[in-house]
Amino acid sequence: MSRTQRRGPDKRRGPVKRRGPIQSRGTVTIDVERCKGCELCIPACPPEVLVMSTRRNSMGAEYPELEPGCTGCGACLLVCPDFCFEIFRYEEPVLHEASA
Amino acid sequence: MSRTQRRGPDKRRGPVKRRGPIQSRGTVTIDVERCKGCELCIPACPPEVLVMSTRRNSMGAEYPELEPGCTGCGACLLVCPDFCFEIFRYEEPVLHEASA
Amino acid sequence: MECEIMLTGIGGQGIQLAAQILARAAVHEGLQVMYLGTYGGTMRGGQTDATLVVADERILAPPLVSHVGSALAMHHAFFAPIETKLRAGAVVLINESVFEGDIAGRDLCVLRVPATAMAADLGHPLGACMVLIGAFAAATELVGIESLLGGMRESIPAYRRQNLDANEKALREGYGQLEAGVASLRAAGGKA
Amino acid sequence: MECEIMLTGIGGQGIQLAAQILARAAVHEGLQVMYLGTYGGTMRGGQTDATLVVADERILAPPLVSHVGSALAMHHAFFAPIETKLRAGAVVLINESVFEGDIAGRDLCVLRVPATAMAADLGHPLGACMVLIGAFAAATELVGIESLLGGMRESIPAYRRQNLDANEKALREGYGQLEAGVASLRAAGGKA
Amino acid sequence: MTRRLMEGSEAIAEAAVVAGCRFFAGYPMTPFTELLEGMARRLPAEGGVCINAESELEAIGMAWGALATGARAATGSTGQGLALMQESLSELTRSELPLVLFNMARGQADYYQATRGGGHGDYRHIVLAPIDIGEAVALTQLAFDLADRWRNPVQIYGDYLLAHTSEAVAVERLDFAPLPTKDWAVDGSLGGSGASRNINPIGMTKGSKGIEPESFWKRLQAKHDEIAAAEARYESEHTEDAELLVVAFGTVARFVRYVVAGLRAEGVKVGWFRPITLWPFPAQALAEAAAGAARVAVLEQNAGQMIDDVRLAILGAAPVIPIGGISSDEAGFGIGPLLDVDVIRDRIEAGLAGREVPR
Amino acid sequence: MTRRLMEGSEAIAEAAVVAGCRFFAGYPMTPFTELLEGMARRLPAEGGVCINAESELEAIGMAWGALATGARAATGSTGQGLALMQESLSELTRSELPLVLFNMARGQADYYQATRGGGHGDYRHIVLAPIDIGEAVALTQLAFDLADRWRNPVQIYGDYLLAHTSEAVAVERLDFAPLPTKDWAVDGSLGGSGASRNINPIGMTKGSKGIEPESFWKRLQAKHDEIAAAEARYESEHTEDAELLVVAFGTVARFVRYVVAGLRAEGVKVGWFRPITLWPFPAQALAEAAAGAARVAVLEQNAGQMIDDVRLAILGAAPVIPIGGISSDEAGFGIGPLLDVDVIRDRIEAGLAGREVPR
Amino acid sequence: MSGDDNRTRFVVRTDRVPEQPASRVGEQRPGLLRSEDHDLCPGCGEPVALRMLLEAIEELGLGQDSIGVVGIGCYTALTTLMDIDLIQALHGRAPSVATGAKRMRPDKLIFTLQGDGDMVNEGLQEVIHTAARGESVTCVLLNNGVFGETGGHMTATTVIGQRTKNTPEGRDAGYHGHPILVTDIIAGLGGTAYAARCGVYDAAEISRTRRILRRAFETQQKGVGFSFVEILTMCPTGWFVPTAEGPEYLDQVLGSVHRLGEVKVDGKLVQS
Amino acid sequence: MSGDDNRTRFVVRTDRVPEQPASRVGEQRPGLLRSEDHDLCPGCGEPVALRMLLEAIEELGLGQDSIGVVGIGCYTALTTLMDIDLIQALHGRAPSVATGAKRMRPDKLIFTLQGDGDMVNEGLQEVIHTAARGESVTCVLLNNGVFGETGGHMTATTVIGQRTKNTPEGRDAGYHGHPILVTDIIAGLGGTAYAARCGVYDAAEISRTRRILRRAFETQQKGVGFSFVEILTMCPTGWFVPTAEGPEYLDQVLGSVHRLGEVKVDGKLVQS
Ligand SMILES: Cc1ncc(C[n+]2csc(CCOP(=O)(O)OP(=O)(O)O)c2C)c(N)n1
Ligand SMILES: Cc1ncc(C[n+]2csc(CCOP(=O)(O)OP(=O)(O)O)c2C)c(N)n1
Ligand code: SF4
Ligand code: SF4
Ligand code: SF4
Ligand code: SF4
Ligand code: SF4
Ligand code: SF4
Ligand SMILES: [Mg+2]
Ligand SMILES: [Mg+2]
């Protein structure tokens, strides 16, 4: 089994829903106008907090959105071919209320 | 030690003299006009019966001469770049009187 | 007779397919035809134009035309350069559902067709282009509906056979929609 | 003054070296000089010629000359084509020890030098060419003996230094041999 | 035969197959790529071979080998790829191999390359420049015929628009006069000794040592003189009373023809002349067509190359003025601002008036 | 400076070194090989580099890299090797790199290759054709100057005889007008961001997306027009009252000069004209020199190439007749029967008499 | 977010820097990136490789001591992004150009950036000769097994079974021949000091790509011979796969033949 | 006979066939030799290799079913001797020419005859691509480590220490780079079915050369892939050694780096 397969086939469908308040140790900025909607960042995110939006940018591309739980690991930045991400690590983790 | 070295460094100086009548099991023809005097045939001859002449052909090249003892092995034919040799094997070995 | 037609839209709308269908329909009618597609890069939403020349004799027009007798606009984004090429009296079909902005009031015969809406109503949202060329055929009588359907069938690759019926519906819908209006159009002096 | 000299011989006789020595000697004399060697393949005993043009002004003659004012023949084998190029009154030096056959009796000044024999006598059998160009220099007064020796020293590569003395002897021998005869040659109207 | 909407590249590929081409090798480069794809699609079904060669140098080498066995074979590229092939193009001509070479050019700046070659030495290729797809279909077949007839490479000079425009065409097989059998080819059967052959570019003859370039090259030159005398082709219109004669080739000529037709309709005395063969250049025909003209204008999409041949044809009999120029798009495919009937009309009118035209 | 007997190749190598050439790469081919050897002998001592490139394509690539860093660099070959370099020669011209290119040709059949290029597109190289070693020494130095001045390749068109003949020469450094600094070169220091550069042949500018071939090519064309106007060079003699003007270049011109001098001495009214620059061709000077002549004869050692330029210069003012022809030896080195003062004299006399000359 | 999930979600704002105290981790773009605007396809692996290349140079502090020589392929369009002195070479010719540049600027880091079509098709012998000569340059190969730029045809590195424009059913060894494993050939040459293969299919491997590039450049700086890095990159367009499946296709299809890892280090083979 | 030996010797007449009953062993010249007259240097190994090539074809009975494609080097002059249909290719281009010929004449034996300058310098990628493609042709390399024809300069196969015109002190790895062991590269390619190296320095090895050529041709006939034979040949002229020392120099200097023997048989590597 290959390295990429190991990550599981369902990853680009979006994160598994979790319950309770979620802690973000980091966050990202996304230059959505530059995004071409390739979805490479989605499975690259270890905590699976990136999800493709249903909206489109002015080039017509769907782009990723961030759900709570980012660790600031930077994987998304590394894999993005369009230089969309900037990574931040919080001095103090930030807590979010999870969605229903 | 390499294969060619094994044949000894002195071979192109000509054959070692032998005593007594010498038997030729074969013989060769040499198209001396085509010979360019490269001397490749001299060390190639296992019984060492090829010797460079001191005469020159019309191109100015010294050429090999055959002393008694040829076995008709064909090595000279194989190594000669100028297609000078033809090989014969006697039905009966021929005896020659060796030189002094 | 030699008429130049330009189609314009954005990537994904099916402009090239529509142009090819029109071209093949013209072949069915025994006409001479020339077609050239142009694309503005690989991105979704980019420019995509097609030029078509249809004639009953050897075509004289070069592949890049500077003047066109008719235009089909699926989208407004890249319509401007085509607008400057319109001959006096040109027939212009507009995908009213999407097209934003006005067309300068010159001696033009502008027909507005809610192609995207009509296609969506047919349950075949990607068929808007079919509606528009159906309407164009009816408006200009350049090719008949049967030729159009034949051109469509030849232009759809084997692995897209499932779209044949929906496309036919869309073509007929566009054609029918305009058929009624043709008489009035002719009266107005529009020529293709 | 522009004089063309051709040297001919067979591979191994040292024709190119001799030509280069003459050429460099001419440079020593402040003359203009042009030299071109030609070889007929790589085999021992093949043709080897050299063409030399010496002048006191910019040389006009092209590198391949059709007419020569003098010739040096170390061997007869390839002399024929040169013979046809000889100008009236040309000076021809022949290596008498080797050269076979006659030279057509035209208005030529033929000088026979037993160059190979003389060189052998000097114990320097490969110096025959030196003898011949020494004689040539004396016969034509094109270059002096000192220039010739200078040209020779410049032309021998470092790893052949051991030949310097023998070459000098051979050059001087050839030069001396002819010096005596020069007056008579000039009287005979020969020109280089 | 029924007509079918075909892209230029596809139609040319079809014409090549119909002409009996059974080997093709090429390396992708816009706008040649589609022709390569067309051949790759068509040839296997005909028992032919199309190789996606690893480079242009290898492509022409493969074609060389196929040709030497007597097959009809072709390759091509655009200007850059053809530049890489120049050594082969030159030597293959001397090997007298009947290559058909497709130059799907980016504009018209390869005129020198096509007509003078960039290889070394004296050699010429017949160069055919079609005006549209229909003619391309015919000229492609003619190319294979001429190549075999003269044992000389023939180039088809096309361009982006020819390759990418579609027209309704029927690719029908054309008949040409019978050709001699290829008794010069090698099929491997003549060894030991059916009198084996060596197909070579240097005048080597089997069994005789050395080469004879002089006589060999002179014979080739004589052949090229014959071709020059026999194969010039052209088209012209409205030349009799033209004050201005416009010379153009290929797709550009298509624009010129259109504009001239428009001007004539308005009574303007202008004619046009189009070399179909860029080499041999139809010099005599052009000189005759230009006989009555006050001025000859050359419209080419480059900095001025064919104008040499026009001047050499006219030899001062009338002023020859350039009204074309470099003209490219952002991708460098040669679809620049000059390719516009209004621009061309302006330039022709300038030519008529004797005004200079910015290049 | 003392004169020294030097072979042409050696003298040219020396001249290149004296001119500041510090990089050379080449692949052996007669008669270019000795120049390569000369550079290999001389450059290391001057702190330069000579690479025995693995092929001609690699040789020109290496020169390209060296040039881009601002070094004076050169390569060369004979016609065949230059044919292989055509793509690079064309694109390198568009990169505006000051290459000096030595074509040690096998005869004169590479005139088209040298003057029209076999690369794609519109481009020109300045081509200098020395008549003898002394001039070759000067023109080699001029070549490096012109290349830098115009940021354009310059070719030296030599031949077997130029390469292999020896003459007594003193290679002295020539002075030229000061040159602008090479502020276009890359030395690697302009990254992040000293405003980094990209030396490229397609008009790319750093930081701006895409390319602009149209304006870029037009600018290059304007430069070539400037060169054409500024750099034509020629030599002529006895033109004023000549009935026949003989045009020849390079080594062949040396033969012509000699023959004409002989004929003049006999009172025959013949003159000669020699383009030193094959491009730009000295058209105007030739037209003037030919003004009074009844006939212009072109003696070139090929099937007729320069004659195009002669006709383009004269434009019908006088008949232009070919009196040269293909002329090669058994090795194909271009030392054929034409290179004989008697043969040339015959042909010039035929030209004078208006007789045809077999090619 | 797929259409079956219409529930409201909590989405973190990502259009501006966070309000809470936070530190930026790395730069959004490498310092040597002059602009991030390019027209390469969605999901293309080449810009990712480019980022690593620029970061490796930056880490070594060589931004003002480097000359890149770029081949012709999709990556050519990336040259306007690179804040490094560049020479644009012709298709296939970059290694020779790099050689000439290095000989005149021996103190600079000289590298090439080429695709598989450029390097392994058109100019295969250039890189082999340069390596054998032990030229002190670094050649970087972006291998996607297709001519991306001209529409996705098979190249000499296309692996058996790989989909391309002209092998829609996958490359077939019998009909199309076998791929060339160029890193292995290069590693076998006497002049090569360093050779490695890596990929850009996930974040860890992308980071390794940067480290490998660094080692290659360090090898060049030591002057011990030729160095070579092959980077496998996604070309969803040429492979006719959805962008999101690119990394997996790269890893499984290309990566299983062009095996990743260092092959030669300090002049010694390290893999079997 | 050296000058120190002035004694009368008994010399056998060799200017005519023997008077005593005897049978001719083999032919003086192979049946496919059209003439034996050539201008190659004394002691050159290329005519020896040619003899074996022709004999191998003859043994297989393929004299009337073969097309040779010849490169440019000294061996080019041997083409007039070969009684086989030939195509003269340009310097470096023979493998592609052979490819085109094979595709149109799949039933014929198609082989190339090239030198090291031709194959490993000018046209290295041709042979590699042809091999990788698994083209059913046989490429024969005459490797003497020099450009014989142009005067004996170093090539890409010249071994370290070898004397050539431009490496009079022997090739130096640091200055001139390393040799390319082309048979090993070829053997490593997926499309190669057979690859071997042999030499012509003595009678036994010359005989093996013929056997190896036969096996290569048989491989082609089986249609299982590309076949390759490298033959080391003497070039005393380019090496600046006396003709008689050629074989020893070949064996010791060239042969110690370009190791002799079969490297790949039936698609499998057989040497380490
Ligand atoms: C001599 C030459 N032949 C062909 C081309 C056309 N061409 C441009 S890019 C390209 C393919 C590039 O492939 P690769 O190097 O793998 O880069 P990719 O596009 O895959 O990134 C080709 C064939 C060219 N530019 N030059
Ligand atoms: C394109 C090209 N470049 C250079 C040459 C000059 N050339 C002729 S033969 C030769 C060397 C041949 O070497 P090799 O193939 O090893 O054969 P050898 O002479 O050693 O037998 C060269 C460089 C040529 N003919 N063509
Ligand atoms: S930084 Fe890491 S955790 Fe945060 S979005 Fe990116 S990949 Fe996910
Ligand atoms: S990787 Fe980048 S371009 Fe691709 S979807 Fe994510 S943000 Fe957009
Ligand atoms: S046949 Fe054998 S024994 Fe006889 S001369 Fe030749 S090599 Fe010697
Ligand atoms: S091997 Fe042949 S050419 Fe050489 S010396 Fe012997 S007979 Fe003569
Ligand atoms: S075609 Fe392939 S390599 Fe080129 S930009 Fe698109 S994805 Fe990248
Ligand atoms: S130079 Fe070398 S390879 Fe050429 S013929 Fe002479 S010995 Fe043979
Ligand atoms: Mg690629
Ligand atoms: Mg060799």
- F27-70 pLDDT, tens digit each: 999 999 999 999 999 999 999 999 999 999 999 999 999 999 99
Alpha carbon of H167 to those of B52, F40, G242, H145, H171: distances in Å? 32, 11, 56, 12, 5
Distance from CA of G33 to the nearest CA of F (A): 8
Cα C50 to its chain centre, rounded Å, is: 9
**Residue of chain E whose Cα is closest to the Cα of H104:** E66
pLDDT in tens, A19-64: 567 899 999 999 999 999 999 999 999 999 999 998 988 888 899 9
Peptide bond into E98 cis (omega under 30): no
Least reliable range by pLDDT among C33-42, E318-327, F13-22, H157-166 = C33-42
pLDDT at A2 over 80: no
Q: Map residue B66 onto helix, strand or coil.
A: strand
Check pocket membership of B45 for ligand 5, CB cut-off 6 A.
yes
* Cβ contacts of C41 on chain A, cutoff 8 Å: none
Same domain for F11 and F159: yes
Residue E195 lies in a domain: no
Interchain pair B81, H42: CB under 8 A: yes
Render pLDDT for F321-338 as a digit per residue (tens, 0 to 9): 999 998 888 888 888 899
At F69 the three-state DSSP class reads coil
Q: Which amino acid is at C151?
A: G
pLDDT digits (tens, 9 = 90+) for E198-213: 999 988 876 666 677 7
State the amino acid at position F195 in one-letter form: A
Q: Tell whether G190 lies on the interface with H, counting CB pairs under 8 A.
A: yes
pLDDT at E17 (0 to 100)? 98
Give me the domain span that covers residue F306. Answer: 235-353
**How do residues H165-214 score in pLDDT, each as one tens digit?**
988 889 999 999 999 999 999 999 999 999 999 999 999 999 999 999 99
| The last residue of a domain, from among F169, F188, F205 | F169
Domains (ranges, CATH) in chain D?
Answer: 2-187 (3.40.920.10)
Binary contact (G122, E37; C-beta < 8 A): no
- F157 and F255 together in one domain: no
Whether there are 3 or more C-beta pairs closer than 8 Å between A and B is: no
A–G: how many Cβ contacts below 8 A? Answer: 169
The whole-number mean pLDDT for each consecutive block of 10 residues of chain G, a chain of 272 residues, reads 52 89 80 91 97 97 97 95 97 98 98 98 98 98 97 96 91 94 98 98 97 98 98 96 96 96 97 62
Q: Which amino acid is at H24?
A: R
Alpha-carbon distance of H112 to H224, in angstroms, equals: 18
Residue whose CB lies within 8 A of the most ligand 7 atoms, among G38, G39, G40, G158, for a mutation test:
G40
Domain boundary among F146, F169, F192: F169
- Output DSSP code: residue F349: H
Residues around ligand 9, an ion, CB closer than 5 A: G 115-117, 144, 148
Distances (CA, A) of F306 to C173, E311, F248, F325: 69, 15, 9, 12
Which amino acid is present at E131?
Answer: I
Tell me how far the alpha carbon of residue H164 lies from the centroid of ligand 8, in angstroms: 12
Subunit contact F86:E84, Cβ cutoff 8 A: yes
Task: Report how far residue G1's alpha carbon sits from residue A42's, in angstroms, rounded to the nearest whole number.
Answer: 10
Residue D160 confidence (pLDDT): 81
Helices (H), chain G: 46-59, 94-104, 116, 124-132, 173-176, 182-187, 203-222, 236-239, 246-249
Cβ neighbours of residue H185 under 8 Å, at least 6 residues apart? G128, G185, G188, H128
Task: Output the residue whose Cα is nearest ligand 8's atom 8.
Answer: H44
Q: Whole-angstrom Cα distance, residue F92 to residue G100?
A: 14
One domain, residues E152 and E243? no
Residues of chain F with pLDDT > 90, as a percent, come to 87
Q: Is A49 in the pocket of ligand 3 (CB under 6 A)?
A: yes
Assess whether E247 and E103 both reside in one domain: no
Per-residue pLDDT band for F205 (boundaries 50, 70, 90) equals confident
Q: What does each C-alpha distance from F297 to E340, F114, F250, F318, F350 come to in angstroms?
A: 44, 21, 16, 10, 10
Distance CA G58, CA G214 (A): 10
Is the CB of D27 less than 8 angstroms away from the CB of F261?
no
Q: Which residues of D touch F299 (CB under 8 A)?
A: none
Rounded distance, CA E268 to CA G246, Å? 61
Which residue on chain B is closest to D46 by alpha carbon?
A: B59
Q: Which residue has the CA at smallest separation from atom 16 of ligand 2?
A: H117
Q: Is F273 part of any domain?
A: yes
Nearest to F346 by CA among F337, F336, F335, F357: F357
Please report the pLDDT score of residue E121 as a whole number. 81
pLDDT value at residue D183: 46
Please give the pLDDT value at position D72: 96
- Residue H135 Cα to ligand 7 middle (Å): 30
Distance F251 CA to ligand 5 centre (A): 55
Confidence of residue D44 (pLDDT cuts 50, 70, 90): low
Query: For B12, which DSSP code?
Result: G
| Closest CA relative to residue G246, chosen from G42, G75, G77, G1 | G42
Last residue of a domain, one of E169, E191, E208: E169
The pLDDT of residue B6 is 36
Kindly calculate the radius of gyration of chain E based on its CA atoms and give it in whole angstroms. 21
- Which residues, in sequence order, are bridge partners of residue G151? none
Specify the residue with its C-alpha closest to ligand 1, atom 20. Answer: G148
Which of A12 and E5 is assigned the larger pLDDT?
Answer: E5
Beta carbon of G52 within 6 Å of any ligand 7 atom: no
Residue G73 CA to ligand 7 centre (angstroms)? 9
Largest CA distance in chain D: 44
Residues F282, F164 share a domain: no
Interchain contact, E52 vs G154, CB within 8 Å:
yes
Average pLDDT over residues F191-220: 83
Amino acid (1-letter code) at residue F298: V
In a domain, F196, yes or no: no
Neighbours of chain H (3+ CB pairs under 8 A): B, D, E, F, G
| Residue-averaged pLDDT of chain F | 95
| Rounded Cα–Cα distance for residues H48 and B82 (Å) | 8
Q: Please, which pLDDT band fits residue D184 given cuts at 50, 70 and 90?
A: very low
Q: What is the pLDDT of residue G199?
A: 98
| Residue D23 · residue F3 · CB < 8 Å | no
Report pLDDT for A96. Answer: 79
Q: Which residues in chain H have Cβ-Cβ distances shorter than 8 Å to F37? A: 165-166
Nearest CA to ligand 5 atom 2: B73
Residue predicted with more confidence, C25 or B11: C25
| Closest ligand 2 atom to H149 CA | 19
Is the domain of E243 the same as that of E148? Answer: no
Mean pLDDT of B37-43: 96
In a domain, E228, yes or no: no
Q: Looking at the CA of H51, which ligand is closest? A: 6
**Least confident among C149-153, C176-180, E181-185, H143-147:** C176-180
- H173–G124: do the CB atoms touch at under 8 Å? no
Name the residue of F80, F84, F113, F160 whose CB sits within 8 Å of the most ligand 2 atoms, as the mutation to test its pocket.
Answer: F80
Phi, psi of D69 (to 5 degrees): -90, -15
What number of other Cβ atoms are within 10 A of residue H21's Cβ? 10
- C58 CB near a chain A CB, below 8 Å? no
Number of domains within chain F: 2
Contacts of B98 in chain H (CB under 8 A): 10
Say yes or no for a CB contact (<8 Å) between C41 and G39.
yes
Q: What is the mean pLDDT of residues H25-37?
A: 83
**Domain-located, residue F147:** yes
Closest CA to G195 of G133, G265, G140: G265
Taking the centre of ligand 4 as the mean of its atom positions, its distance from the CA of residue G235, in whole angstroms, is 15
F162 and F251 inside one domain: no
Instruction: Indicate whether F340 pLDDT > 50.
Output: yes
Residue-wise burial string across D1-30, b where 16 or more C-beta atoms lie within 10 A, e elsewhere:
ebbbbbbbbbbebbbbbbbbbbbbbbbbbe
Average pLDDT over residues H226-238: 97
The reply to whether F244 and F156 lie within a common domain is no
Task: Residue H95: count other Cβ atoms within 10 Å of its Cβ.
Answer: 30
Residue C181's pLDDT band, with cuts at 50, 70 and 90, is low
Query: Phi/psi of residue C51, each to 5°?
Result: -115, 135
Is F191 in a helix, a strand, or coil?
Answer: coil
State whether E129 and E252 are in the same domain.
no
Mean pLDDT score of chain H? 94
| Structure token pair of residue F29 | 């081919």
Q: What's at E16, amino acid-wise?
A: A
Q: Does a structural domain hold residue F215?
A: no
Is C41 in the A-facing interface, judged by CB distances under 8 Å? Answer: no
Q: How far is the CA of E198 from the centre of ligand 8 (A)?
A: 22
The DSSP annotation for D34-85 comes to: EEEEEE--SSTT-EEEEEEEEESSS--S-SS-S-EEEEEES-STTTHHHHTT
In DSSP terms, C95 is beta-bridged to C113
Q: How far apart are CA G151 and CA G166, in angstroms?
A: 10
Residue window 139-198, chain H: list those with CB within 8 Å of chain F.
147, 150-151, 153-154, 156, 165-166, 176
A98 burial level (CB within 10 Å; 0-12, 13-18, 19+): middle
Residue of chain B with shortest Cα separation from D43:
B59
Examine residue E180 and state whether it is found in any structural domain, yes or no: no
CA angle A86, A89, A93 (to 5 degrees): 140
Q: Is C80 on the interface with A (CB under 8 A)?
A: no
pLDDT of residue C187: 45
Asked whether C20 and C155 are in contact (CB, 8 A), the reply is yes
Cα G124 to Cα E120, H92, H128: the distances in Å are: 26, 14, 9
The CA distance from H213 to H227, in Å, is 9
Residue F325 falls inside a structural domain: yes
What is the set of domains in chain G, with CATH numbers? Answer: 34-269 (3.40.50.970)
CATH code at E8?
A: 3.40.50.970
Contact flag B32-H15 (C-beta cutoff 8 Å)? yes
Instruction: Judge whether residue F341 has pLDDT over 80.
Output: yes
Query: What is the mean predicted confidence (pLDDT) over E112-121?
Result: 87
Task: Tell how strand F244-247 and strand F295-298 pair up.
Answer: parallel
* Mean pLDDT, range E220-234, rounded to an integer: 96
Express each pLDDT in H34-90 by its tens digit.
988 999 999 999 999 999 999 999 999 999 999 999 999 999 999 999 999 999 999
> Using the beta-carbon criterion (under 8 Å), do F189 and G80 form an inter-chain contact?
no
B chain contacts of residue D12, beta-carbon cutoff 8 Å: 60
Q: Which residue has 């033209």 as its token pair? A: E242
The residue ranges of DSSP E strands in chain F, in sequence order, are 4-7, 23-26, 49-52, 73-77, 100-105, 126-128, 154-159, 166-169, 198-199, 234-237, 244-247, 270-275, 277-279, 295-298, 320-322
Nearest residue (by CA) to ligand 5, atom 7, is B45
Residue H175: enclosing H or E segment and its boundaries?
helix H173-176
Q: Are residues E20 and E127 in the same domain?
A: yes
pLDDT digits (tens, 9 = 90+) for C70-107: 999 999 989 999 999 999 999 999 999 999 988 876 78
Strand partners, E100: E74, E154
* CATH for E346: 3.40.50.920
Residues 6+ apart with CB under 8 A from D128: D13, D14, D74, D95, D97, D98, D115, D116, D118, D119, D120, D170
F116-125, pLDDT tens digit by residue?
987 788 999 9
**Which of A29, A40, A42, A77 best tests ligand 4's pocket when mutated (most atoms within 8 Å of CB)?**
A40
**In Å, what is the CA distance from G242 to each residue of A39, E203, G75, G143, H270?**
10, 57, 20, 19, 43
Residue B61 CB less than 6 A away from ligand 6: no
The sign one gets for the Cα dihedral E331, E333, E338, E339 is: negative
Find out whether F54 and H183 touch, Cβ atoms under 8 Å: no
**With a CB-CB cutoff of 8 Å, which residues 50-89 of chain H face chain E?**
57-58, 63-67, 69, 77, 79-80, 82-89
Q: Which chains touch A (3 or more CB pairs under 8 A)?
A: C, G
Rounded to an integer, what distance in angstroms lies between the CA atom of residue E199 and that of residue E185?
8
* Ligand nearest to the backbone CA of H75: 2
Cβ pair C43:G39 closer than 8 A: yes
Report how far residue H151's alpha carbon sits from residue H161's, in angstroms, rounded to the nearest whole number.
Answer: 18
Answer yes or no: do E16 and E152 share one domain: yes
Peptide bond into D81 cis (omega under 30): no
Confidence of residue F316 (pLDDT cuts 50, 70, 90): very high
Whether F83 contacts E119, CB under 8 Å: yes
**Angstrom distance (rounded) from CA E20 to CA D67:** 59
